[in-house]
Amino acid sequence: MTVPLTAPKESILEAEQRVRRKDLSRRWRLFARGAALPILILAVWQTLSATGAISEQLFSSPWLILKQYAALTLSGELPHHLRISIVRASLGFLLGGSAGLIIGLLVGMYRRFEETVNPTVQMLRTVPLLAITPLFIMWFGFGELSKVLLISLGAFFPLYVNTFLGVRNVDAKLFDVARVLEFSRFRQMTKLVLPAALPNILLGIRLSLSIAWLCLVVAELLGADTGVGYMIQDARAFMQTDIVFVGITIFALVGKLSDSIVRYLENRLLRWQDSYKG
Partner 1 sequence: MQPVLEIERVNKTFYGEQGTTPVLQSVSLAVHEGDFTTIIGPSGCGKSTLLKIIAGLDLSYEGSVQLRGKRIERPTQEKGFIFQEHRLFPWMTVEQNIAADRSLRDPGVRKAVDELIELVKLGGFERAYPRQLSGGMAQRVAIARALLRQPEVLLLDEPFGALDAFTRGHMQEALLDIWQTNQTAMVLVTHDIDEAVFLSTRVVVMDARPGTIKAIVPIDLPYPRSRTSRAFTELRTLVLNRLDHRAELEQDVYSI
User: Which positions lie near partner 1, rule CB under 8 A?
Assistant: 8-10, 12-13, 16, 173-174, 176-177, 179-184, 187, 191-192, 195-196, 198, 271-274
**Based on CB atoms, which residue is closest to partner 1, 115 or 171?**
171
Please write down the long-range contacts of 44-51, taking CB distance under 8 Å and 24 or more positions apart.
none
The DSSP call for residue 143 is S
**Based on CB atoms, which residue is closest to partner 1, 187 or 256?**
187
Least separation in angstroms between CB 176 and partner 1: 6
Least separation in angstroms between CB 182 and partner 1: 5
Least separation in angstroms between CB 215 and partner 1: 32
**Based on CB atoms, which residue is closest to partner 1, 1 or 37?**
1
**Based on CB atoms, which residue is closest to partner 1, 130 or 181?**
181
> Up-side HSE of residue 204: CA atoms within 13 Å toward CB?
29
CA pair distance 158, 163, nearest whole angstrom: 8
In a 10 Å sphere around its CB, with 0-12 CB exposed, 13-18 middle and 19+ buried, how is residue 17 labelled?
A: exposed
**Based on CB atoms, which residue is closest to partner 1, 196 or 218?**
196
CA pair distance 258, 176, nearest whole angstrom: 38
CA pair distance 248, 240, nearest whole angstrom: 13
Least separation in angstroms between CB 11 and partner 1: 9
Integer CA distances (angstroms), 205 to 57, 179, 196, in order: 39, 30, 15
